[in-house]
A and B are shown apart, each in its own frame.
Chain A
Amino acid sequence: MDKTQELIDAVIKGEEDKIKLIIMENLSAGTPAKEIMDQGLIAGMNIVGEKMESEEMFIPEVLMSAKAMSSGVELLKPHLTEDEASASGKMVIGTVQGDLHDIGKNLVKMLMEGAGFTVFDLGTDVSPEAFVEAIKKNDADILGMSALLTTTMPKMEETIKAISEAGLRDKIKILIGGAPVTDEFSDKIGADGYGPDAGSAVRIAKNFAPDYS
C-alpha cells in the first residue's frame, strides 16, 4: 500500500478529499481494499481514539475524523466482501424507558459509527420490548443502553431479562453507560460491559468483536 502514513494523517485531520484521493490511487494500483481499510482508515481512527482519551483531540474533531473515515469506507465498500464491510458489527442503541437524557447516548452512537460499527438508534424512552424487536429486526451483535437516572436504571435489567426470554442473550453483547451506572451495577444485572465515557465505550465494543466476527 502507498502513502499509508498520509492516509492515517488525513484521517486524524479529518480531510475527506485527501482520504478519497489516496484510496482511489491505491485501488487503481491494485492494493486490496481490506488492506487500505485496516492499515489506513482503522489505524488512523485508532489513533484518534487514543488522542480523544488523552484529551488531546476534542469531540468535534473526533467526529470530523469519523465522518471523513466513513466516506472512505463508502468508497471501499464495493471492493470488500460483506463480512469485511461490517467487520466491526451492528449495534442497536437507545436511552431506556422513562429517560429523556440522550446527549451521552448520541455521543456514543457517533463514535461507534466512527469506529466502523453500523448503529441503529432507537432514541429515548425505549421500552424493553422495543429493544428486543430492534435486535431481531437488525440482527444486531451489540446492544447499547444509556440511563442517566437512578429511577430508570432498573429498566436496563428488565431489558436484559426480556432479551433472555426472547432467547437472544447468547448472540448479543450488552454494553451500558450513563452517569449513575457503575461496573458493579453492570455485573449485577448481567451486562457484558460498562463504559464510563464514550471513548471507553468504543474500546469495550471493539473488544467484544472477536466473539462474533
Chain B
Amino acid sequence: MAKICSNQQALNSPYARKLTERQCEKLYWACLEILERTGVHLYEQEAVDLLKKAGAHVTDGNRVRIPSGLVEKALTTVPKTVTLCDQNGNRVIHGGGHQSYFGTGSDCLNIRDHRTGERRLAVLKDIQEGMILCDALENIDFVMCMFLPSDVHQEVLDRYEMEAMLNYTNKPVIYVTTEFSGCVDAIKMAEIVAGGEESLVTHPFAGCYINVTTGLRHNQEALQKLLFLSGKGLPFTYIPSAQGGVTAPITIAGTMAMNNAGALTGLVISQLKREGAPFIMPGWGGNMLDMRTTIQPYADPEKRGQAIDFAHFLGIPTFALAGCSESKLVDEQAAAEAAMTLFTDAIFGGNFVHDVGYLESGLCGSLPQLVICNEILSWIEAFMKGVEISDETLCLDLIDEVGPDGQFLDCQHTLENFRDRWYPNLFERSNFDGWQSKGGKSLGERANENVNQILEDHKPEPLPKDVAKAVHDIVEQAENTR
C-alpha cells in the first residue's frame, strides 16, 4: 500500500495548491449560477422527479434548473471520506482529505505485449495477468480492469472483467460497465464475494466508475447507476466529461465550471435519493481536445491540481488520474509523463488516482509500464514523507563522539538506522561496471523481466470454490440472456 499523503502535518510534508480559497469560492458560485440559470438535461425520469419534488424548476420535460439551496444542503450530508475494503473486508482505503491511493485504469482496447513487443488487441488473459501483477505490486492500492477483452462476447464483456478482478486479486475494485444491467450484475457478484447484500454495504470493496456525457447533459445509464448505487449506499464516482473547446469553453475555468456544475448535479441527486450516500467527484479539471491531433490528452499538465483543490474546498473525495501517457511505446515519454502526473496528483492530494499504466491516451496498456509506475510511486512515497528534526534525529551526541576526523560507517547507529532510508528496486544505481556486469539493461528491459518474475512467482489468494462458481453463474446468466 502506498502510504502517500500530502499536507500531513503543517509545514512538515510537501503539498501544493493552485487555487486560493477565494478562487474556489468563485468557481463554486459559477457552478451554482450555471445550475440555476442554464440548468441541465437529465435523461432519467426518476432523477427529474426527485429534483422537482425538492423544488427544482423543470421545463420541457427534462430541463432542470437547480436552486443553490439544494446544492448547499447536499454538501452538508455527503460523507467527507469514502472507505473501500479489500475483498476480505479489511478497511484499507480511506479516500478523502489529502490521502492518495493509486490504481490502474480500465478498458484499454490494446496491449503492448511485453513478450513480443507488439501492439495487439487485448484478451481476457491479459486482464487476468494484469490483476495478478496488481495484486503483487505494493504501491497499487486498488484495481480497475486495465484491458478490454476482445475474445469474449462484447455485450457481456463487463461481466468477464468483473469476474477476473474478483478471481485474480484481493484488492479493492473500481468497475466499469457499459450499460445499467452490467452494473446490477457487478453488484450481485460483489455481494456474493462479500457474503451478502448487507456485508457489501458495511464492507464495501467495489466502487463503480460512472461517466456522464457532458457537464450539463446526463445520460440515462449514468443516472440509473447513480440512483441504484446511492439507494444502496454503495460508492461510485460521478465524472462528467466536459471537453474544453468542444462541449465546454476552451478556458480551464469555463470547462471546470461546466464540469463541476455536472458533478454537483449528481451530488444533489445522490443525496436526494439517500442522505449520506457516498460520492466521489472528478479530480482533474479543464479537459481539452488537442486541436492539432484530435486526441483527448490524459497527461495534460494544465488539467492537474485545480480540481483537487476545488474538491478539498468542498470536502468531497476525488477520483483523480495519473501515471498515464500519450506515448505509443513504453519509452522515455511514457516514463516522464507517468512520473510527472503521479507526482503532481500526490503532492496536491488526489484521493483515488486511477489510469496508472495507461499509454496512447487510454487506448493501450502495458504491464511493464505499470511496474515502472509502481517504482515511481515508491520514490514519491519516500519523497512525500515529512522530515523529523528532533533531538533524536539530529544526533548531536553522536556527532560529538565521532568528532571532526571520524566516520560513521561502522557506528552502531548507522547499522540500526540505514534501512530506514529509501532504496530503489528497478531504478539502477550501480556504477557503470556494476550495471554492465548485470547485463547492461535498460529500465524497460528490467521492467519486462520483473513482470515475468512476478507472473511466475505470485499466486493471488483464490476465491473459495463455491464463491467462484456463484460468481461465474452470474456471467453465465448474462451470456444466456444476451
Contact = CB atoms under 8 A, between A and B. Distances in A.
A198 to B, nearest CB: 6
Contacts of A197: 294
B294 A151 contact: no
A154 interface: yes
A126 to B, nearest CB: 15
B109 A100 contact: no
Interface in A44-83: 55, 58-60
Contact of B157 (A60, A150, A179, A198): A150
Contacts of B296: 103
A59 B154 contact: no
A107 B291 CA distance: 11
A104 interface: yes
A106 B213 CA distance: 14
A149 B106 CA distance: 13
A151 B293 CA distance: 25
Contact of B109 (A98, A104, A180, A198): A180
B150 A100 contact: no
A59 B289 contact: yes
Interface string B314-326: 0000000000000
A164 B294 CA distance: 33
Nearest to A52: B292
Contacts of B157: 150-151
Interface in B227-286: 243, 245-247
* Interface class of chain A by DSSP: loop
Contacts of A153: 154
Given A100-B213, A103-B246, A151-B154, A58 B109 contact: no
B324 to A, nearest CB: 16
Interface residues of B, number: 21
A106 B246 CA distance: 9
B118 to A, nearest CB: 15
A153 B178 CA distance: 13
A103 B178 contact: no
Interface in A97-113: 98, 100, 103-104, 106-107
A106 B243 CA distance: 13
Interface in A103-151: 103-104, 106-107, 149-151
Contacts of B148: 150
A184 B292 CA distance: 26
Of the listed residues B154, B157, B294, the one surrounded by the most CB atoms of chain A closer than 10 A to its CB is B294
Contacts of B245: 59-60
A167 to B, nearest CB: 29
Contacts of B246: 103, 106
Of the listed residues B219, B245, B292, the one surrounded by the most CB atoms of chain A closer than 10 A to its CB is B292
B291 A58 contact: yes
A150 B219 contact: no
Contacts of A179: 109, 363
B138 interface: no
Contacts of B178: 98, 149, 151
A198 B294 contact: yes
A203 to B, nearest CB: 15
A55 B295 CA distance: 12
B155 interface: yes
Contact of B247 (A55, A59, A103): A103
Contact of A150 (B154, B179, B289): B154
Interface in A138-179: 149-151, 153-154, 179
A186 to B, nearest CB: 16
Given A103-B246, A103-B247, A179-B363, A150 B150 contact: yes
Nearest to B213: A100
Contacts of A180: 109
A60 B157 CA distance: 37
A180 B294 CA distance: 15
A37 B219 CA distance: 42
5 contacts: A55-B292, A59-B292, A107-B294, A150-B150, A150-B154
Interface of A: 55, 58-60, 98, 100, 103-104, 106-107, 149-151, 153-154, 179-180, 197-198
Interface of B: 109, 148, 150, 154-155, 157, 178-179, 213, 219, 243, 245-247, 289, 291-294, 296, 363
Those 10 A-B pairs whose CB atoms lie nearest each other, nearest first: A58-B291, A59-B291, A151-B154, A150-B154, A55-B292, A151-B178, A58-B292, A103-B246, A100-B213, A180-B109
Given A60-B291, A197-B294, 20 more contacts: A55-B293, A58-B291, A59-B291, A59-B292, A60-B245, A98-B178, A103-B296, A104-B294, A106-B246, A150-B148, A150-B150, A150-B154, A150-B157, A151-B155, A151-B157, A151-B178, A153-B154, A154-B154, A179-B109, A198-B294
